[in-house]
Structure 1
Amino acid sequence: MNLFSRTWAALRAAVASLPDTDFEKPSGCRGWLVRDVVCHLVIDAQDVLITLATPASSALTHNAITYWAVSSEPPTGDDPLSALIVRLAAAYEDPALLKFHLDDVGSAAGRAADLVDPGERVSTQEMVLTAGDYLSAYVLEWTLHHLDLVAHVPSVAGPPADGLARTRSMLEQIAGAEFPSSMPDEDVLRVATGRRAPTEAETASLGDLAGRLPLVLG
């Protein structure tokens, strides 16, 4: 729960510190500009609010790891939802409006997360899981998108180290294998999720695991 709050606060602070011109730069998410990532975060924050306000009484079906559906095909940015995000982000025109909207709904999502009972069952996308597991899953979401945000904006601070470490651990559980200790967390996260191709040295150190990458999470 605390890690959710720290990673979310760090990501929102990174967005708040972005100069307006950086919103037009490419992000680490294929097909999206920085402004598109920020717009996606607004949708994410809305999802957090909706889910935490959707209690469930049925049996648990998922946890923080099984929450994620995994495929091997990187997104192209052409699917309807991605296309909608791009159009919506462009409609803001003034980056200050997008910053304001994220701060507004994002702060509310953060407060809701601080107040919820981690053992409470919630429902989302036909899944039932504890609020604690749901918010733990979002540590991965925040951390990956924080990396996307700063991929071509080195002047902005990256995600917290404990968020990187936790996301790496979650990806290892999803993959059912450990990544090489020689690879820093940021490199593991980018390579494992297809945000960049591995170098020859990384491919060699990954061994058989290289053939199972990327892990495209949805």
Structure 2
Amino acid sequence: MDLFARSWTALRAVVANLADEDFTQPSGCAGWLVRDLVCHLIIDAQDVLITLVTPAEGPPTRNAVTYWEVAATPPTRDDPLDALTVRLAAAYQEPRLLTFHLDDVGSAAGRAAELADPRQRVGTRGQVLTAGDYLDAYVLEWTLHHLDLIAHLPAAAPPHPESLAWSRAMLEQIAGTAFPASLSDKDTLLIGTGRRAPTAAENAELGKLAAVVPLVLG
């Protein structure tokens, strides 16, 4: 849960330091500008708040790893929620309004995470998890979106090394096998989730994994 706070704080700090012109740059999420991704983070923060105050009965049905489902194809952005995100982002008009809203809701989500009992069972997406597992799953979410946010902003701060290492370990559990040690944590996450294509040399090192990636997480 400490890593949740660290990864979320680092991601929000990058957004807080964006220049107005950065919001119109492409992000690492195909079809989304940086402003669209920031709007998505606001929705994510709302989801965290909602989930942490939604107690659930019965034993957990998912954990931090099985929370993630692997889709057969990458998102096309035709999904109604994706389309709504783009429209909402444009409606803010001024980047400072997006930044303010993320800081407001994001700070609340961070405080809720700090106050949560990690053993408490919560419900989300029709599943039951402990709050600790739910927040651990979100370390991967924050880390991937941190990489998405800075994909075309070379001066922006990268994710914390611990967040990258944790997320790599989680992705390897989802894949059911380790990625080559020659790949950095960042490259493992980018290649493993389809955010960039492997080079010929990387593809050779992936071996059988080359037929498995990308893992489209949802």
Which TM-score bucket, shorter chain as reference? over 0.9
1:164 aligns with 2:173: no
In the TM superposition, what whole-angstrom CA distance separates every residue of 1:45-89 from its partner, at most 9, and x where no partner exists? 000000000011212100000000102311122221111111110
Q: Deviations over 1:126-167 (max 9, x none)?
A: 000000000000000000000000000011101100000000
1:143 aligns with 2:182: no
1:76 maps to 76
Aligned residues: 218
The equivalent residue for 1:180 is 180
Distance in 2 between the 1:75 and 1:194 partners?
11
Distance in 1 (CA, whole Å) between partners of 2:208 and 2:3 is 32
SS of the aligned residue for 1:157 comes to coil
Counterpart position of 2:108:
108
Separation of aligned partners in 2, 1:143 and 1:151: 12
Q: 1:72 touches 1:213 (CA, 8 Å); kept in 2? A: no
Distance 1:217 1:101 in 2: 26
Matched residue of 1:26: which SS? coil
Match runs of 1:5-20 below 5 Å: 5-20=5-20
SS of the residue aligned with 1:55? coil
Structure 2: tracts of 5 or more residues without a match: none
User: Which residue identity is paired with 1:35?
Assistant: R
Q: Could you tell me how far apart the structure 1 residues matched to 2:103 and 2:29 are?
A: 21
Q: 2:183, 2:110 → 1: CA distance?
A: 32
Ranges in structure 1 where 5+ consecutive residues have no aligned partner: none
2:65 match: 65
Q: Which residue of structure 2 lines up, in the alignment, with residue 154 of structure 1? A: 154
Please give the alpha-carbon distance, in whole angstroms, between the structure 2 residues aligned to 1:74 and 1:147. Answer: 17
Match of 1:130 in 2: 130
**Displacement of 1:117:** 0.5
Q: 1:5 is matched by which residue type in structure 2?
A: A
Determine if contact 1:143/1:164 at 8 Å carries over to the other structure: yes
Could you tell me the TM-score, scaled by structure 2's length?
A: 0.99
Q: Which residue of 2 aligns with 1:55?
A: 55
State the SS of the aligned residue for 2:123: strand
2-structure distance, mates of 1:195, 1:82: 17
Structure 1 distance, partners of 2:201, 2:34, is: 30
Deviation string 1:22-48 (CA, Å, 9 cap, x unpaired) is 000000011100001100000000000
For residues 10 and 72 of structure 1, the distance between their equivalents in structure 2, rounded to whole angstroms, comes to: 31
Aligned to 2:29: 29
CA–CA distance in structure 1, aligned partners of residues 207 and 74 of structure 2: 21
Superposition misfits of 4+ residues, deviation over 3 angstroms = none
Q: Which amino acid aligns with 2:123?
A: S
SS of the equivalent of 1:196 reads coil
Mapped partners of 1:165, 1:50: distance in 2: 28
Deviation at 1:15, TM superposition (A): 0.3
Aligned equivalents of 1:190, 1:72: Cα separation in 2: 17
> Taking structure 1 as the reference length, what is the TM-score of the superposition?
0.99
- CA distance, structure 1, for counterparts of residue 150 and residue 82 of structure 2: 20
